[in-house]
Structure 1
Amino acid sequence: MSDTIEPAQLDAEEAESLRKTHYNATVIERIDVHDDLARFRIRPDEPTVPFDPGQYVAIGMGNWEPRLPGTQTEMVPENKLRKLGRRAYSISCPLLDSAGVIAPVNSIDYLEFYVTLVRRADDEHKKPPVLTPRLFMLDAGGRLELQRKITGHYVLGEIDPGDTVLMLGTGTGEAPHNAMSAHLLANGHQGKVINATSVRQRRDLGYAKEHALLMSQYANYRYLSFTTRDPENLDPSHPGYVGKQYLQSLFTSGRLAELAEDPLSPANTHVFLCGNPSMIGYVPPGADPPATPGMLQVLGDAGFSDEHDSIGAGSIRFEKYW
């Protein structure tokens, strides 16, 4: 006899009892960018303690909850059916409130998350994705668990008022940079604040309108977006052909500095990296360097440092998701 059971087979009364026991937060708004990408605004039942932009927190949902149709089937063992599956997410930011006024993370009573739906594992030997196929079943009013501890070392730290802040992200790695950008601008940072992101297609730019409005309000803010899989990236016959726009090549070519209207010099620039490990280029101790240099290698060649005790201009901070 099988020891697995489909999540949907837990009876409704017990499922509701488990939700009341474990869940402590409500989705108050869901903003769909497209079918596989959304912004979730989640309000905890109890206010969160103040936290630093760039930090993260875990979201949880019960293994008994239904999964979005079209996602990978998951068979949950009976002894795990009543437990929660969790995943940590960097906290994003709405950037602007409903009146168009800048809204840093500690000015609002909810947490915003920028989430990609993972429909199936990228390897047949890996377990099916636990959280997002369930999270994407929720609309406004949906309940879930939001862990109380907000943590993480990927934070701004000490930055002189006139320094340049360069944030480089891929995909939803933009999330903590949105929180950092809003914080810097709301607190009167005078230097350039450059939030650059590379995504597969323009449709993956979930905050494009907010960034445009923010740039119209703050002369020192730049949001730079690049793509790698739109027609102009792939088709040499396209009239606007630019090739695949990777942050590493944009930096080394000088194009990033040109668009930022800033030399991006280690003499006055702090760099933050979040997203695809290939973009970041972190090399664990004893491992071989990547065949294609990541930003850590590119920035190192330009005079920046990612040493743990490196602070101030010329330093690199990066978020690890692996």
Structure 2
Amino acid sequence: MSDAIDSPDIDAEAAEQLRTRHYNATVIERIDVHSDLARFRIRPDEPFQPFQAGQYVAIGMGNWEPRLPGTQTEIVPAEKMRKLGRRAYSISCPMLDPDGQLAPVDSVDYLEFYVTLVRRADSEDKKPPVLTPRMFMLQPGGRIEVQRKIVGHYVLGDIDPDDTVLMLGTGTGEAPHNAMAAHLLSNGHRGKIVNVTTVRNRSDLGYAREHAVLQQQYSQYRYLAFTTREPENLDPSHPAYVGKQYLQPLYTSGRLAELAGDLLTPDKTHVFLCGNPAMIGYVPPGADPPTTPGMLQILTAAGFSDDHDCVGAGTIRFEKYW
């Protein structure tokens, strides 16, 4: 059980003063995918700097703000009550405007974030989640902080207009890929753009409608969505049983290339990875390799390079916040 933070130091008037002092942006729209997943469209008070598709920015809310009922209780020390908790999020993309036409990030005056509600820490030795239990209390008109500097090296770079772009994501890891895909389409990319995501349930596909429309409008665009927790993933007796659909075996089996309608070979393909660290398979210097190979291990064995100094087809780019 959880409820608003009750502190004798932060009454309603003091809370409003803190919001005025710290917050610099307004939620203009909230699209709820389901109770624990939403798209937030946030407009900063001042025009934001131009940025590249795939980059991220930190957003924050005050520790004095109430938390969503049903999320983990948080005990905030008095000396931190007036401070902000922040987290970095990749900037997503509306993909379509109200008329159903392509809407890349540079066509709108707001920033879109694809956010999962973290109700509690995943282990007892970790602190309660700070931001999302507060963020999911916000409705249109609610105020929030957006850091002024949009940053990140996870960007498209120079890609030949006829090359294939393969983007592999898990969950909300598709956010930067949506921005990248819209940018490529708006700039006339001719090669295949293959945007792949895997989620637990089909209800977690927060941009399914937009992707379906774009596939009809652009023949070079392909959106492939897979699940791991639907009945056909878990029940061998299900008439459509396929097992859990993880990206690694989908790639190694050739199924991904078949569905993409492209060989996905290093000579013409750029790969982008974002999402679950186990899927990516990043190994910090000096650490042991993962027991189950991630996409980095699989792709390098297939002839791709994860050297960030390399350019051109055959390179792998990946996002990491850890």
In the superposition, the TM-score normalised over structure 2's length comes to 0.98
1:3 matched residue in structure 2: none
Aligned-residue offset at 1:321: 2.2
Aligned partner of residue 198 in structure 2, secondary structure: strand
Superposed counterparts of 1:122-271, under 5 Å: 122-271=122-271
Give me the whole-angstrom Cα distance separating, in 2, the residues matched to 1:121 and 1:301.
35
Aligned-residue offset at 1:309: 1.2
Give me the whole-angstrom Cα distance separating, in 1, the residues matched to 2:294 and 2:223.
21
2:274 matched residue in structure 1: 274
- Work out the percentage of aligned pairs sharing the same amino acid: 78
Aligned partner of residue 26 in structure 1, secondary structure: strand
Matched letter for residue 234 of structure 1: L
Number of aligned residue pairs: 317
2:312 matched residue in structure 1: 312
Superposed CA deviations along residues 88-143 of structure 1, whole A, max 9, x for unmatched, are 00000010000011011011000000000000000101110000000000010000
Matched letter for residue 70 of structure 1: G
1:17 matched residue in structure 2: 17
Give me the whole-angstrom Cα distance separating, in 1, the residues matched to 2:313 and 2:49.
30
Give me the whole-angstrom Cα distance separating, in 2, the residues matched to 1:88 and 1:137.
19
Give me the whole-angstrom Cα distance separating, in 2, the residues matched to 1:292 and 1:160.
33
Aligned-residue offset at 1:296: 0.3
Residues 8 and 65 of structure 1 are in contact (CA less than 8 Å); yes or no, is this contact kept in structure 2?
A: no
Give me the whole-angstrom Cα distance separating, in 2, the residues matched to 1:178 and 1:221.
11
Aligned-residue offset at 1:311: 1.1
Give me the whole-angstrom Cα distance separating, in 2, the residues matched to 1:58 and 1:277.
20
Give me the whole-angstrom Cα distance separating, in 1, the residues matched to 2:101 and 2:246.
32
Aligned partner of residue 121 in structure 1, secondary structure: coil
Give me the whole-angstrom Cα distance separating, in 1, the residues matched to 2:58 and 2:300.
32
Aligned-residue offset at 1:78: 0.5
**5+ residue gaps, structure 2:** none
Aligned partner of residue 258 in structure 1, secondary structure: helix
Aligned partner of residue 181 in structure 2, secondary structure: helix
1:7 matched residue in structure 2: 5
In the superposition, the TM-score normalised over structure 1's length comes to 0.98
- Aligned-residue CA RMSD (Å): 0.7
Superposed CA deviations along residues 51-70 of structure 1, whole A, max 9, x for unmatched, are 00000000110000000000
Aligned-residue offset at 1:217: 0.3
Residues 7 and 81 of structure 1 are in contact (CA less than 8 Å); yes or no, is this contact kept in structure 2?
A: no
Aligned partner of residue 49 in structure 1, secondary structure: coil
Give me the whole-angstrom Cα distance separating, in 2, the residues matched to 1:304 and 1:159.
15
Matched letter for residue 27 of structure 1: V
Aligned-residue offset at 1:308: 2.2
State yes or no: 1:73 paired with 2:88: no
